[in-house]
């Protein structure tokens, strides 16, 4: 699933819509949450993420980015 969002806080959190963040990921089959940020000057940055918070009633979610880059 794809969606949009924006970086908040110290740069390690992304706010997005709850409907684009899956309720459950199947780690056994290799499912992960991947965030890709595109900057006009820095290019593209990909990070694995975890759902930090999700409010379906307001369609908001916050994802916490990992430190290491993703090579996908």
The CATH number given to whatever domain includes residue 34 is 2.40.10.10
Q: Given this model, what pLDDT does residue 11 score? A: 83
Identify whether the C-beta of residue 15 lies closer than 8 Å to the C-beta of residue 4.
no
Distance CA 34, CA 63 (A): 10
Confidence band for 69, pLDDT divided at 50, 70 and 90: low
Give 17-67 pLDDT, tens digit per residue: 999 999 988 888 888 899 988 777 777 888 999 999 999 999 999 999 987
Which residue range is the domain that position 61 belongs to?
5-69
Q: Structural domain tally of the chain?
A: 1
Long-range contacts of 46-50 (CB under 8 A, 24+ apart): 46/70, 46/71, 46/72, 49/14
Q: Given this model, what pLDDT does residue 64 score? A: 94
Rounded to two decimals, what is the model's pTM? 0.80
């Amino acid at each position: 699933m794809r969606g949009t969002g924006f970086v908040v806080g110290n740069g390690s959190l992304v706010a997005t819509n709850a409907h684009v963040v899956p309720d459950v990921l199947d780690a056994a089959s290799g499912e992960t949450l991947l965030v890709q940020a595109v900057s006009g000057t820095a290019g593209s940055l990909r990070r694995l993420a975890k759902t930090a918070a999700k409010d379906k009633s307001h369609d908001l979610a916050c994802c916490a980015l990992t430190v290491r880059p993703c090579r996908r």
